[in-house]
Amino acid sequence: MQSLHLTAEEEAMLGGQSGDGVALAMRVIVAQARISDAPRLVEITSAHVDSCLYHGQVSLDFAHRLADLGAKVRVPTTLNVGSMDLLHPGLVRDRDLATAGRELMSAYVALGCAPTFTCAPYQLPNRPGLGEHVAWAESNAIVFANSVLGARTDRYGDFLDICAAITGRAPYSGLQTTEARRGTVVFDCRPLGRFLESDLAYPLLGHHVGSVVGAEIPVLVGIPADVGEDELKAFGAAAASAGGVALFHAVGVTPEAPTSLDGLPVHEVHLATLREVRRGLSTFREGKLDAVSVGTPHASYGECARLAELVGNGPALNVPFYLSTGRATRARAAETGVLQVLEAAGVTVVVDTCTYVTSILAPGWKNVMTNSGKWAHYAPGNINVSAVLGSLEECVASARAGRVVLDS
């Protein structure tokens, strides 16, 4: 194990010269650095904190302890989803959870974090650039920052994230380093052909890749050069959920993708494989539908507008339909009239949280459709539902029919 070198400023923070709150946070960062055998710490330019999602009394205790010690974040810090929709508090059915969730979200705002409450901070302004060191938590945010933006963040979980924000430091280890960011296994997606033009391809492909590689770094070949960020978001979120993927490369698309694949193992991906993935993710496939939930990770403005086009024309929706998005995206949708179209069609727009992490869906609803590989992966265990995965068009068609409608 190599020794950890701290700068004079870092030693001073650790010794309490910047206050007791900073000293506590620095002790956490230093301990993690030693565990990960980091030679030094690295200055970060931003943080994204997942600790504001309530997981029990310890969540509140730690945040309040930092506040009592006078801690404040020293880099721009966004907040992940919480357990509460602060704009629509009546949506959360568990009142005790709502109360604790609100208190925790307020505690992190008091520490100086921006009340963004979105799992997609990359949809906000001032996102990090290529090679920029950050400390982001939330699995889909991590994989998007590393892969699509080319920023550098390791996996930072609860409490480590806020400590990085308070100190402005993270261990120089893992995906903060150049050597750890090289691809390790290739997935040849060319056999999928035109299916890669479908939005359904990306959550399915992500779930497949994550299931195969675990925490390795996949390299994708054959992804269309004009693929959008929403598709890359869906891929990364599913890969991070099914495995531990925190970085992927797409040749000709993402900024750090390798130009030579010599010596790496290769897996071909065929349509039959992704059909099997869909069957595996769908814990029911036909019959009466109780609800639809889309927007996991949080829907972008483009996804909101696309949904508005689909639901704004045609028959009414016959089952409850939920769209989760960030409050900044919702505000933009309100300015352009997209929100009004969605709400007039019967879509419930959820902000600050997500339907698979808190008690928004009614307890008696069992069969729920989604377009998200991440939602389909987590919701059955989290909120005791059966899920079926479909494209956004299939979700709308099914909501109108009141039953599952799949194109294939």
Question: Tell me: the pLDDT tens digits for 58-112?
Answer: 999 999 999 999 999 999 999 999 999 999 999 999 999 999 999 999 999 999 9
Residue-wise pLDDT for 302-321, tens only, equals 999 999 999 998 899 999 99
Whole-number pLDDT of residue 1: 67
**Res. 2: pLDDT tops 90:** no
Q: Which domain holds residue 235?
A: 186-279
Whether 311 and 236 map to the same domain: the answer is no
pLDDT computed for residue 314 by the predictor? 86
If asked whether residues 83 and 103 sit together in one domain, one would say yes
Instruction: Say yes or no: 41 and 114 in one domain.
Output: yes
* Tokens standing for residue 391: 């494209």
The reply to whether 145 falls in a domain is yes
> Residue 57: inside a domain, yes or no?
yes
Indicate whether 123 and 197 sit together in one domain.
Answer: no
pLDDT in tens, 246-264: 999 999 999 999 989 999 9
| 406 occurs within a structural domain | no
110 shares its domain with 134: yes
What pLDDT, on a 0 to 100 scale, did the predictor assign at position 285?
Answer: 84
Task: Please name which of 68, 76, 61 lies closest in space to residue 21, comparing C-alpha atoms.
Answer: 68
Q: Percentage of residues in the chain with pLDDT exceeding 70?
A: 100
Q: What is the 3-state secondary structure (H, E, C) of the chain?
A: CCCCECCHHHHHHHCCCCCHHHHHHHHHHHHHHHHCCCCEEEECCCEEECCCCCCCHHHHHHHHHHHHCCCCCCCCEEECCCCCCCCCHHHCCCHHHHHHHHHHHHHHHHCCCECCCCCCHHHCCCCCCCCCECEECCHHHHHHHHHHHCCECCCCCCCHHHHHHHHCEEECCHHHCCHHHCCCEEEECHHHHHHHHCCCHHHHHHHHHHHHHCCCCEEEECCCCCCCHHHHHHHHHHHHHHCCCCCCEECCCCCCCCCCCCCCCEEECCHHHHHHHHHHHCCCCCCECCEEEEEEEEECHHHHHHHHHHHCCCCCCCCCEEEEECHHHHHHHHHHCHHHHHHHCCEEEECCCCCCCCCCCCCCCCEEEECCHHHHHHHHHHHCCEEEECCHHHHHHHHHHCECCCCC
Inside any domain, residue 408: no
Boundary-marking domain end, from 138, 155, 179: 179
407 belongs to a structural domain: no
Q: Write down the pTM of the prediction.
A: 0.97
How many CA atoms lie less than 13 Å away from 14 in the CB half-sphere? 14
Q: Average of pLDDT values for 15-25? A: 98
Question: Are residue 200 and residue 174 in the same domain, yes or no?
Answer: no
- Does some domain include residue 1? no
Q: Count Cβ atoms within 10 A of the Cβ of residue 259 and give its class: 0-12 exposed, 13-18 middle, 19 or more buried.
A: exposed
Q: What are phi and psi of 100, to 5 degrees?
A: -65, -40
Domain finish residue from 223, 251, 279: 279
State whether 160 and 204 are in the same domain.
no
Q: Is residue 231 part of a domain?
A: yes
For residue 3, being part of any structural domain is answered with no
Contacts of 202 (CB under 8 A, 6+ apart): 231, 232, 234, 235, 238
- 231 and 132 within one domain: no
Clarify whether residues 118 and 252 are in a common domain: no
108 and 124 together in one domain: yes
Task: Let me know whether 175 and 190 are in one domain.
Answer: no
pLDDT at position 348 = 98
- Domain shared by 80 and 200, yes or no: no
Among 233, 255, 279, where does a domain finish? Answer: 279
Q: What is the CATH number of the domain that holds 288?
A: 3.30.499.10
Q: Looking at residues 190-216, what average pLDDT do you find? A: 97
Overall number of domains in the chain: 3
